[in-house]
Amino acid sequence: MDLAKLTLMELRGALRKGQATAVDAVEAIRDAVEKRDDRVKGYIGADFEAALAEAHRADLNLPLGGIPVAIKDLINVNGQPCSCGSRMLAGTYRSPYDATVIRKLREAGAIPLGRTNMDEFAMGSSTENSGIQLTRNPWDLDRSPGGSSGGAAAVVAADTAIASLGSDTGGSIRQPASFCGVVGLKPTYGRVSRYGLVAFASSLDQIGPITKTVEDAALLLGAIAGVDPKDSTTLQAPVPDYVEGLKGDLKGMRVGLPKEYFIEGTSAGVRAAVDAGIRKLEELGAELVEVSLPHTDPAVAVYYILATAEASANLARFDGVRYGHRSEQGHDLGEHYRKSRSEGFGAEVKRRIILGTYVLSSGYHDQYYTRAQQVRTLIRRDFEEVFSKVDVIASPASPSTAFKLGELANDPLHMYLADVFTIAANLGGICGISVPCGFSEGMPVGMQLLGPALGEPAVLRAAHAFEKATDWHKRRPSLGSTCPIPQG
């Protein structure tokens, strides 16, 4: 039995039945990383000795007892590096504390294991913006794993992780999950604490699970969700038993199909796979309802005004004085700041800081930032209106399958549009999931299911019912020991 290839629930069962130990599980992940991650490069690093020490103490009676979980490299784990995929922090910062989600994982018995690669400070849709290394899609090593949680999705798809935690600001869990053929869940804003998550855009960021099955995502969400006094934006709402809520069929469930999400520009293969997925939902008893989200069109523009404005403010702290990269050059304080930030940040981060500073500047604040906030309110109202009529919304997670590495590197606008179906959910603060629904030209396709705020039970139940009726989630890429490492 190859423990690394098991789902979270399967591994939990094996551990509880005495068929394996937590030490066996950590060693299986270490072996898998040694065999396969030299080609995928989903991990920036992993402290297996610390994980083995935790494994020896694991309480297998806890919900996640003895199960290793990979962590995106912008979530703080006490004593471990946290580079955010950036030269600004790489080799200079080691976390002095656990993020709330890490504390909750430990309380549930899980073992945080490994730091997964990402677009620098979560700014990107391909993980090509990492300042550390290039991560590849396990299904085709010449293609992107998506982003910004590309490493977190790639290691789950490659069976070098049982499950992982990522973060989603505009689609950064759902899009890479779609590209890599795994399950990615973005919780409702405030459902999971952001304390200990290095901020990109504070009103949009949300931590969530990337897993091999919907049931695994439900279990992991239940462990990390809940109110946190250290994060005032967490919701004062009880956490249901998400796994128990998976039971039941889809009879009577209303599934909305927004006409704005089925548009020209979506690849024919993606459209065919998602259409087949929607038909399967109907076969399972769901009622399909055509709906409209009229303010979808400006959502990308609104996102890139608000997200860059918040990034400009959040990243101001990285000045090379208190922590982070410090330039050896500079004759005065102003030049020292400029040198440290220009050397530490990559091109995409600089682009977004400049955009954000511009839209917040005197004379442009009302023209851009204030108007964007007003349109955001309209987007939120669109969702509220639609969810008064339907239980969930179905759509593609991305308009295409994984693109070739480098294909969009010099076309940031086209790259930004890769998140056209995911961004509005963050602006509206609602929940969503990407679940594998087919393939196009050999690459995975994800179907997105969106729910209202705190609508995770309905979203998870629909995704689970679909998963039980199909086998797309069981398919894994071939990454044999003889698989060549691409050059370049």
Helix (H, G, I), strand (E, B), or coil: what is residue 209?
A: strand
Pairwise CA distance, residues 115 & 123, whole Å: 17
Catalytic residue, from 172, 193, 395, 400: name it.
172
Exposure on the CB side of residue 216, measured as CA atoms within 13 A: 28
172 is catalytic: yes
Picking from 134, 140, 184, 139, the residue whose alpha carbon sits closest to that of residue 164 is: 184
Contact 158, 35 (CB under 8 A): no
Contact 296, 257 (CB under 8 A): no
Pairwise CA distance, residues 273 & 278, whole Å: 9
β pairing state of 392-396 and 287-291: unpaired
85-86-92 Cα angle (round to 5): 110
Pairwise CA distance, residues 451 & 393, whole Å: 6
Residue 18 CB burial class (10 angstroms; 0-12, 13-18, ≥19) = exposed
148 is catalytic: yes
**Cis status of the peptide bond prior to 148, with omega within 30 of 0:** yes
388 is catalytic: no
DSSP-assigned beta bridge partners for residue 431 = 451
For residue 324, report the phi and psi dihedrals to the nearest 5 degrees.
95, 180
Helix (H, G, I), strand (E, B), or coil: what is residue 269?
A: helix
Helix (H, G, I), strand (E, B), or coil: what is residue 387?
A: coil
The residue behind tokens 């789902």 is 7
Residue 31 CB burial class (10 angstroms; 0-12, 13-18, ≥19) = middle
84, two tokens: 């955010």
475, two tokens: 């398919």
- Segments in 284-327 forming alpha helices (H): 299-314
32-181-430 Cα angle (round to 5): 120
Catalytic residue, from 41, 72, 104, 280: name it.
72
Pairwise CA distance, residues 77 & 102, whole Å: 7
Catalytic residue, from 83, 130, 144, 148: name it.
148
Contact 197, 461 (CB under 8 A): no
Count CB atoms within 10 A of the CB of residue 442.
11
Contact 158, 37 (CB under 8 A): yes
Contact 102, 75 (CB under 8 A): yes
Beta-carbon contacts of 241 under 8 Å, excluding residues fewer than 6 positions away, are 222
The residue behind tokens 């977190």 is 152
What residues act catalytically? 72, 148, 172
